[in-house]
Structure 1
Amino acid sequence: MSEPETKDADNTKDNNMTKRSQRKLLLKEEKKKIRLEKRRQEKIGKDVDFNDDWLEESEYFEENGLRKVHPYYFTFAAYAKGRWFGRTLMDVFETEFRQDNPHDKIKALEQGRVRVNGEPVAADYVLRQGDYVENTIHRHEVPVRGGDLNIVFEDDEVVVIDKPSSIPVHPCGRYRHNSLTFMMRKLNGYKNLRTVYRLDRLTSGIYIFCKNDIKTREIITAIQERKVKKEYICCVDGEFPTGKVECKEPLGVLSYKLGLQYATKEGKEAFTVFERIATNGKLSIVKCWPKTGRTHQIRVHLQYLGYPITNDKLYNTPNWGPEKGRNGNFGQSNELLLERLEKEHSSRRFLMTDSDEAQTKRKRIETSGKFDENCQECLHPSRDPLPDELIMYLHALSYEGPNWKYSTDLPFWADLEKLNNSKSEEGEDKTI
């Protein structure tokens, strides 16, 4: 007669099952990461081109040092995603289709500007698999810094731009025509350009577009294999230490909604080397060599070291606590930090009262033939930012590969004396 299974044997079985489950879960997560990375790479190396209808949606004009886009109608469209099934249209509309306030959402539904399968529907319509949802808005793009795009190099394989601060590379959020890819097509006539890496909207400097698949794969592969040397320059608060300074703090996502990163042991590998090239005791000019390519890597590593970029409106604010995130110290829970950051984000729009400026802007929209009496942005225009409010002191100075190198001139703020003079001319009571 066989011996009955012992309690220890049962525990062993449970442990084996647990280990198998953990392995399956890890494998599933790894496959998911591979899929997401594949999609990201496919998007990066993709042709950047637009049909003529898109290009004719609106026109640019320049005013007060800014490039602006006349308002135009645009329809966001998508098939219902799995997470939408069984939810009301209003519920999905509030979370997926971004509008300024609940009043706008309700009005859009009442006016039939939201359609499912080509037909207007009520707010309590329950979405099902296969539903095609459209949301037509009167789109007001955010102004960016004006001026021509500076082409620093071009041949049969690449065109290299000195990207101005404030312009995103790809269409996103409230930027479409005011994105670099649209501008290259619409203003400069380039077709079928390929993007090969990311560069933050507020970061200026070198951006490489490829003209063919072979060059695209070559540069993307070199970046993935870390064979591309990237050199940035920035202006930071404080007297940065002398010599080479390394930061290897892993980085993770603090908020997907706000696009914020932070230093966390649970994050992904990140490595940046810094070296001070000038200081006046209050500010320092620092060169940066990112060895990995995490989102906001240079900005977050500088914040962690205690020398945030001087005019970084994301990572250099009192919301990050008394230490402003130095050594990962926020002086509060992550939940409270996010609450404060989200509150600041929602109030950061360039609000305008019923001033002369507001009336002038509204009148211009009316006379341009682009006015929509149902559009809150037409009725209550937001003020324009000043061009200098759209600059961040972080610049991609050069990118160097195995057999190529592209570089730009130093930005004006890299000279502390010139920066100090520009501040004085603006009337700021501050010596730096």
Structure 2
Amino acid sequence: MTTIAVKCGRIRVDDKMVHTSYVVQSSQKISHFLHRHEPPVLAGDVLVLQNEADILTVYKPASVPVHPCGQYRKNTVVGILQAEHGLAPLYPVHRLDRLVSGLLIFAKSADKADFLRQQVEARLLQKEYIAKVIGVFPEKEVVIDANICYNAREGRSFVEINGSCIDKAFKGKTACTKFTRINTNGKYSLVSCKLVTGRTHQIRVHLQCAGHPIANDMLYLSEDVPSRSANGVGADRAASGTCKPPMSNSHKDDSFAEDSASEEFSIDPMCTNCPNLPPKGYDEDEEGIWLHCVRYSGPGWCYECPFPDWAHLC
């Protein structure tokens, strides 16, 4: 593989093609160009709700990250808005997790973005989430005031128990969330979630602490999740091995849905099966054969709820 990459010019020395017998000298720079497949996202449209002179408000569908991160570059809200609507540059005022759908506010200038962020930090702008949880949530308002520890290595948060986290190396941060039941069908409940603080995975772990985890949140449905760092996979992938989201009868035989939910997307250094077809709105000269974006239509995680994801921002 390395020999082929050198001959194809994917491995270069000081930005120049070299022979496979070339001996690298001290202080020379070696570059390895990779053909990256972005993980697919659901093909729901990023809807432009209001386009003003200095502010843009859009609806973000589930599964799409807000901005380039990790393996995502074009399959992001920012990338899609630029390619399909010609809207750029954009500055996110706040973010939503990749699996969360809801309203997003972008500024069209750095100064306006800083101004709006200050309003968010001063709590002049409020965010409210809606989550589908397991069980009959209490009818009265529930306030969870429990410190949260976040283990970045494992990609999970934990609630402090008796003043200490499960992992003694981590110290919890104050966290408070207010929950109000919207309705219930006896098996699941729709719950309004209002953040008093903003910690990583706060709503998810506080709902788990309350005994009503989000219905299809594999990472927090069970407290016994295998170590992602030990297995070398993502946190959600590790959790999927022991906990699967509930599926309706109409999807039990849908192998595509299961495969797409658990597939681990990797970088293929020598891809021969990817069509050299840039998606609509992208510069072919810019990407060439190095990037192929995919957006596909498919079922979300949740099969019995009006929302296609595990949480929704109103």
Question: Quick check: TM above 0.5?
Answer: yes
Q: Give the 3-state SS of the residue equivalent to 1:298 in structure 2.
A: helix
Q: Give the 3-state SS of the residue equivalent to 2:106 in structure 1.
A: strand
Q: Give the 3-state SS of the residue equivalent to 1:165 in structure 2.
A: coil
Please tell me the residue identity of whatever aligns with 2:159: A
**Greater helix fraction, Structure 1 or Structure 2:** 1
Please tell me the residue identity of whatever aligns with 1:248: D
Distance change in 2, residues 1:364/1:263 (3 Å): same
**Which residue does 2:299 correspond to in 1?**
387
Count how many residue pairs are aligned between Structure 1 and Structure 2.
257
1:99-248 pair list within 5 angstroms? 113-115=10-12, 117-118=14-15, 132=29, 134-248=31-145
Cα distance per residue 1:268-290 (max 9 Å; x no partner) = 22221111111122111100001
State how far apart, in whole Å, the 2-side matches of 1:307 and 1:106 are.
54
Cα distance, 1:364 vs. partner? 8.1
Please tell me the residue identity of whatever aligns with 2:215: T
Q: Tell me if structure 1 keeps the 8 A contact 2:148–2:174.
A: yes
Cα distance per residue 1:23-69 (max 9 Å; x no partner) = xxxxxxxxxxxxxxxxxxxxxxxxxxxxxxxxxxxxxxxxxxxxxxx
1:354-393 pair list within 5 angstroms? 365=274, 386-389=298-301, 391-393=308-310
Cα distance, 1:175 vs. partner? 1.6
Please tell me the residue identity of whatever aligns with 2:114: R
Taking structure 2 as the reference length, what is the TM-score of the superposition? 0.68
Q: Give the 3-state SS of the residue equivalent to 2:219 in structure 1.
A: coil
Cα distance per residue 1:351-402 (max 9 Å; x no partner) = 79xxxxxxxxx998458599xxxx9xx9xxxxx78332484220011xxxxx
1:20-419 pair list within 5 angstroms? 113-115=10-12, 117-118=14-15, 132=29, 134-256=31-153, 259-264=155-160, 265=164, 266-316=171-221, 318=222, 320-321=223-224, 339=230, 342=233, 345=237, 350=259, 365=274, 386-389=298-301, 391-397=308-314
Cα distance, 1:213 vs. partner? 3.4
Cα distance, 1:118 vs. partner? 3.0
Cα distance, 1:202 vs. partner? 0.4
State how far apart, in whole Å, the 2-side matches of 1:239 and 1:105 are.
57
State how far apart, in whole Å, the 1-side matches of 2:126 and 2:73 are.
30
Cα distance, 1:233 vs. partner? 0.5
Cα distance, 1:183 vs. partner? 0.6
State how far apart, in whole Å, the 2-side matches of 1:106 and 1:262 are.
47
Q: Tell me if structure 1 keeps the 8 A contact 2:208–2:214.
A: yes
State how far apart, in whole Å, the 2-side matches of 1:121 and 1:291 are.
60
State how far apart, in whole Å, the 2-side matches of 1:365 and 1:309 are.
37
Please tell me the residue identity of whatever aligns with 2:57: V
Please tell me the residue identity of whatever aligns with 2:48: I
Q: Tell me if structure 1 keeps the 8 A contact 2:45–2:61.
A: no
Please tell me the residue identity of whatever aligns with 2:49: V
State how far apart, in whole Å, the 2-side matches of 1:283 and 1:137 are.
45
Cα distance, 1:308 vs. partner? 1.0
**Which residue does 2:252 correspond to in 1?**
none
**Which residue does 2:267 correspond to in 1?**
none
Distance change in 2, residues 1:369/1:244 (3 Å): closer
Q: Tell me if structure 2 keeps the 8 A contact 1:255–1:338.
A: no
Please tell me the residue identity of whatever aligns with 2:158: Y
Cα distance, 1:234 vs. partner? 0.7
Superposition RMSD in Å:
4.0
Cα distance, 1:315 vs. partner? 1.9
Cα distance, 1:215 vs. partner? 2.4
Distance change in 2, residues 1:214/1:389 (3 Å): same
Q: Give the 3-state SS of the residue equivalent to 2:97 in structure 1.
A: coil
Gapped regions of structure 1 (runs ≥ 5): 1-103, 322-329, 353-361, 379-383, 398-432
State how far apart, in whole Å, the 2-side matches of 1:249 and 1:350 are.
36
State how far apart, in whole Å, the 1-side matches of 2:8 and 2:2 are.
10
Identity of aligned residues (%): 34
State how far apart, in whole Å, the 2-side matches of 1:367 and 1:337 are.
34
Cα distance, 1:132 vs. partner? 4.7
Taking structure 1 as the reference length, what is the TM-score of the superposition? 0.51
Q: Give the 3-state SS of the residue equivalent to 1:386 in structure 2.
A: coil
Cα distance per residue 1:229-284 (max 9 Å; x no partner) = 1111010011111211112222232233x533222441222221111111122111
Question: Which structure has the larger Rg?
Answer: 1
Q: Give the 3-state SS of the residue equivalent to 1:301 in structure 2.
A: helix
